[in-house]
Amino acid sequence: MVNKYNAPKGTEDLYGPSARMWDYCMDVARDVFERAGYEPIYTPIFELTEVFTRGIGEATDVVGKEMYTFEDKGGRSMTLRPENTAGVVRAAINASLTANNAAAKLYYGGPQFRHERPQKGRQRQFYQIGAELLGYDSPEADAEIIGLLWHYFVELGIPPSSMRMLVNSMGCKNCRPTYRDSIERFILTNADDLCAECVRRADTNPLRALDCKNESCREVLSEAPRLMDALCAPCADHDKQVRVLLDLVGIPFEQDDSLVRGLDYYTRTVFEIQTDDGQGAQNAIGGGGRYDGLFEALGGKPTPGIGFALGFERAALALEAVGIDMAIGSDCDIYVACATDDLRARAFSVADTLREDGMYAQSDLGDRTLKAQMKAANKAGAAFVAILAPDEDAQGGVTLRDMHTKDEVFMTYDALLNLPE
Ligand code: HAM
């Protein structure tokens, strides 16, 4: 129905199959992440704007162009979270989750907000599921997090052969500045052959030019110095060990020099999973990386961290492409129908008792005819229908119809209410 009020541009109502898809994605997350010891964390949907400007970085597109920022009634600048990592780290600092060198394994799911141009797989309110591993700087931590994301998608039902796991290293505060300068110089030297956006980035965020989507820019930038060749010895060693561990546990990955990611907090390992199945132009279904400077940026003690987030809408598109679509709703073991109006209250109470006994049971809440109730039972996917009719009721029972075989048997109320679950 056309309504005067539509959901805002770039947002979507989740109901029916899409709401069930969200629940399914969260159920699999709970299962996969908790097996590795991760615990749920839910942070506020809005934070002080500084959490994001300091955490994600002023020069990023997310902070510079895409944030939903407003002044609250106390005159403070607040922002709807564009991602969850900064909020999780802020919460971990507040709750001292990593005090005395403790480690914390956390996961979350929920809406994020970015004022982007909506398109297939790109929304202004979108849902992410993510995990953050705080307190470890070891290559094992990186390999666990990358493996967790990979296994999550596999368990969700996305065929491994359709996914690409791209991995790169962003270096650290010791080796990246020199590399940043060399890319800045490279851009300025080749400015005539690059797009205006790449040239603008020379000044603000030169590394981001490396993942410009423009074909001719990509060709020019393929000649740029490689960050891999500029890593300091500890970063190069860390990177090598991560790769050895990923090989050891059989996670397929590819080195991608152009993978620089859009958020400023990354150090060392970064990664992204792409799939073309079901996607539009946006094919990154999840990504993440290490952020060893984020705690300090948010006023905490230096603490290493690594994590990822995946995009629910894009994961759902990938699942639909392989025929997983959550079309079937909740279960219905039994639908309690009545042939006459005077048995309506009885049907209502039988269904109520069956539910108390743990069954998935429904009855008609309107004034449908028996025929319409049978249709409703069918729609609900009921395995059985108990039909209450005057003759059977007089004998203390109902007709029980097996909706699959269409067989019907007489069953006493006693037997019906004591059906095994
Ligand atoms: P991100 O790459 O900005 O990273 O987002 C992660 C995933 O969220 C993307 O791969 C994509 O699937 C999905 N996504 C992002 N923007 C949109 C959008 N506008 N519409 C639909 N889906 C979108 C982060 O957010 C980091 N916090 C990940 C992380 C966690 N790094 C360390 N820990």
Strand 267-275 versus strand 284-290 pairing type: antiparallel
Residue whose tokens read 């802020």: 90
User: What mean pLDDT do residues 10-31 have?
Assistant: 97
Q: How far is the CA of 130 from the centre of ligand 1 (A)?
A: 9
Q: Which residues contact 417 (CB under 8 A, 6 or more apart)?
A: 350, 353, 354, 357
pLDDT at 205 over 70: yes
Say how far apart CA 352 and CA 362 lie, in whole Å.
8
Q: SS3 of 64, please? A: helix
User: What mean pLDDT do residues 35-58 have?
Assistant: 97
Residue 327 pLDDT class (50, 70, 90 cuts): confident
Compute CA distances 204 → 131, 200, 201, 260, whole Å: 29, 7, 5, 14
Say how far apart CA 180 and CA 40 lie, in whole Å.
37
Q: Which two tokens stand for residue 310?
A: 């995946």
pLDDT at 286 over 70: yes
pLDDT at 421 over 60: no
Sheet harboring 408-412: ordered strands across? 361-363, 334-338, 384-388, 397-402, 408-412
Q: How far is the CA of 263 from the centre of ligand 1 (A)?
A: 10
User: What mean pLDDT do residues 118-122 have?
Assistant: 96
Q: How far is the CA of 42 from the centre of ligand 1 (A)?
A: 17
DSSP 208: G
Q: How far is the CA of 199 from the centre of ligand 1 (A)?
A: 25
Q: Which residues contact 382 (CB under 8 A, 6 or more apart)?
A: 332, 333, 334, 335, 362, 403
Give me the pLDDT at residue 213, please: 84
Ligand 1 is surrounded, with C-beta below 6 A, by: 83-85, 114, 116, 121-123, 126, 128, 130, 132, 262-263, 284-289, 291, 307-311, 313-314
Q: How far is the CA of 234 from the centre of ligand 1 (A)?
A: 28
Strand partners, 67: none
Give me the pLDDT at residue 196, please: 92
Rounded to the nearest integer, the mean pLDDT of the chain is 95
Backbone angles phi, psi at 231, to 5 degrees: -65, 145
Compute CA distances 127 → 23, 51, 220, 309, 347, whole Å: 12, 20, 35, 10, 41
**Ligand 1 atom closest to Cα of 128?**
8
* Residue of 378, 310, 23 whose CA lies nearest to 153: 310
* Residue of 39, 128, 145, 125 whose CA lies nearest to 85: 128
**Ligand 1 atom closest to Cα of 285?**
12
Q: Where are the alpha helices (DSSP H) in 3-138?
A: 17-35, 49-56, 61-65, 85-94
Q: How far is the CA of 282 from the centre of ligand 1 (A)?
A: 11
DSSP 343: G
Residue nearest to atom 25 of ligand 1 (CA): 83
Residue nearest to atom 21 of ligand 1 (CA): 122
User: What mean pLDDT do residues 330-351 have?
Assistant: 96
Residue nearest to atom 23 of ligand 1 (CA): 311
Residue whose tokens read 């995009």: 311
Q: How far is the CA of 334 from the centre of ligand 1 (A)?
A: 42
Give me the pLDDT at residue 1, please: 59
**Ligand 1 atom closest to Cα of 288?**
31
pTM, two decimal places: 0.93
Give me the pLDDT at residue 420, please: 62
Q: How far is the CA of 361 from the centre of ligand 1 (A)?
A: 40
Residue 59 pLDDT class (50, 70, 90 cuts): confident
**Residue to substitute in 83, 114, 276, 295 for testing ligand 1 pocket (most ligand atoms within 8 angstroms of CB):** 83
**Residue to substitute in 60, 314, 317 for testing ligand 1 pocket (most ligand atoms within 8 angstroms of CB):** 314
Residue nearest to atom 14 of ligand 1 (CA): 311
Residue nearest to atom 5 of ligand 1 (CA): 309
Residue nearest to atom 30 of ligand 1 (CA): 308
Residue nearest to atom 13 of ligand 1 (CA): 311
Q: How far is the CA of 131 from the centre of ligand 1 (A)?
A: 12
Q: How far is the CA of 345 from the centre of ligand 1 (A)?
A: 51
Give me the pLDDT at residue 238, please: 98
Q: How far is the CA of 248 from the centre of ligand 1 (A)?
A: 27
- Long-range CB contacts (< 8 A, 24+ apart) of 376-382? 376/335, 377/332, 377/335, 377/337, 377/403, 378/403, 380/329, 380/332, 380/335, 381/328, 381/329, 381/331, 381/332, 382/332, 382/333, 382/334, 382/335
**Ligand 1 atom closest to Cα of 124?**
19
Q: How far is the CA of 341 from the centre of ligand 1 (A)?
A: 55
- Given a contact cutoff of 8 angstroms between Cβ atoms, the answer to whether 334 and 384 are in contact is yes
The fraction of the chain above a pLDDT of 90, given in percent, is 88
